[in-house]
Structure 1
Amino acid sequence: MKYPDNILEVGSLLPDYMGFIFWEKSARYFDGVIPNLPKSIKKVGVFVNETTEVILAKAIKYDLQAIQLHGHESVEFCLNLKNELDSKIEIIKVFSVDDDFDFEVLKPFEAVCDYFLFDTKGKLPGGNGTTFDWKVLEKYPSSKPFFLSGGIGIEELEAVKEISKTNLPLYAIDVNSKFEIESGLKNIEKLNSFKTT
């Protein structure tokens, strides 16, 4: 999210989470003021290979309830961040997935984050607007709940529903580019249609 009026519009739909990207190279980079949102919405700060100090400062400044790590953060980094953050702030570690993704890399992270997020491997750390082959999730060896991301739009909703019927611990879906008018500006009608479908 990027624009105050649009943030309030999306907030009226009561999503569980709302993301704010603090990676300066992103077209969705956020450096504004977050308007007052319903308390049920968790504000997520999205970071890419950022320092612990910057993350902590942003968490305080924007009253973040979750931190999404979208870079090459190590297990040690996640552990240190977890120890420094308020215990109520969730840590979401992102992994870029393709057909050859090795789920073994997840194991060391299980103890240092609250959720995984699986996004499509692409040129950018995120926001590539494409889905990966969700069949690879059949190899998921963990009970750690995860967010599913990567080019999810209304067309993917039935496939998402099928995944939710399996034993996979799908916790949430992360939607973004398929619902944008431009980078950071969401189409409220499309989002509302998605939510009510």
Structure 2
Amino acid sequence: MAEPLVIKICGIKTLDLLETTIAAGADMVGFVHFVRSPRHVSIEDIATLISAARGRIETCVLLVNPDNSCVAEVAALGPDWIQLHGPESPHRVEAIRAEAGVEIMKAVPIGSAEDVRHVADFVDVADRILVDAKPPKGADRPGGLGETFDWALLETLDPSVPFMLSGGLTPQTVAEAIRTVRPFGVDVSSGVESAPGVKDKKLIEAFIRNARAAV
């Protein structure tokens, strides 16, 4: 029997949307702590959201190239996961995991076959791999840009490496993505928004419903 699909809704900013996401049946919820993102949430608000979510859904705080004090501040909130979404090296990922004492998800941007080869660098230092679309040159942030990448590139990935898929997924495309790529989980942010940073309840519900139906 196949493992159940893990569905993560990232970029949640309010208690109301947290409740929507839990009620719709997501497995994980992501909070972005990165000032340049339209989904940025303060440490204080993340603390409130994690408290409300605890024991009901797994929580993940997304950071981009964080310094040690930021890692410590976030780890103290007690999330289930810290997601590293910047240019962190394998050595840095390993150091953050040791320091935080929290499970680490490492996002690896994919735009070429060479990028796929880099996934292997993080398998032993992160607890989970998330493959995402590589942002275009000149982008001011590393994710949540609504771009997909060529899923065929993942055919060269070691099949023993489990991964979550992100990058431009929507309620309309998630089923095809799951059937084509066979990830163990999917992660969506901009694909369930009516405007940058503005989540849409009906899109969240449709995304989860369509993802579950594809398995």
TM-score (norm 1): 0.88
Contact 2:116 2:153 in 1 (8 A): no
The 5-angstrom pairing of residues 37-186 of structure 1 reads 37=53, 39-61=55-77, 63-86=78-101, 89-122=102-135, 123=139, 124-141=141-158, 143-163=160-180, 170-186=183-199
Which structure is higher in RCO with an 8 Å CA cutoff and minimum separation 6? Answer: 2
Query: Secondary structure of 1:54's match?
Result: helix
The alpha-carbon distance between structure 1 residues 8 and 192, as it changes in their structure 2 partners (threshold 3 A), is same
Query: How far, CA to CA, are the matches of 1:153 and 1:36 in structure 2?
Result: 26
Contact 2:192 2:207 in 1 (8 A): no
The 5-angstrom pairing of residues 1-20 of structure 1 reads 1-20=12-31
Contact 1:14 1:41 in 2 (8 A): no
Structure 2 spans left out of the alignment, 5+ residues: 1-11, 211-215
Contact 2:33 2:62 in 1 (8 A): yes
The alpha-carbon distance between structure 1 residues 38 and 55, as it changes in their structure 2 partners (threshold 3 A), is closer
TM-fit CA distance, 1:100:
4.1
Structure 1 spans left out of the alignment, 5+ residues: none
Please tell me the residue identity of whatever aligns with 1:144: V
Query: How far, CA to CA, are the matches of 1:127 and 1:173 in structure 2?
Result: 14
TM-fit CA distance, 1:142:
5.3
Deviation string 1:105-152 (CA, Å, 9 cap, x unpaired) is 222322110111111111230011011010101011252321100110
Find runs of 4+ consecutive structure 1 residues off by over 4 angstroms: none
Contact 2:53 2:59 in 1 (8 A): no
Deviation string 1:79-120 (CA, Å, 9 cap, x unpaired) is 11121222xx32111111113443332223221101111111
TM-fit CA distance, 1:47:
0.6
TM-fit CA distance, 1:78:
1.2
The answer to which structure has the higher helix fraction is 2
Please tell me the residue identity of whatever aligns with 1:48: V
Please tell me the residue identity of whatever aligns with 2:74: K
Query: Secondary structure of 2:24's match?
Result: coil
| Identity, % of aligned positions | 28
The alpha-carbon distance between structure 1 residues 24 and 145, as it changes in their structure 2 partners (threshold 3 A), is same
Give the root-mean-square deviation of aligned CA atoms: 1.8
Contact 1:3 1:184 in 2 (8 A): no
TM-score (norm 2): 0.81
Contact 2:60 2:80 in 1 (8 A): yes
Query: How far, CA to CA, are the matches of 2:191 and 2:163 in structure 1?
Result: 20
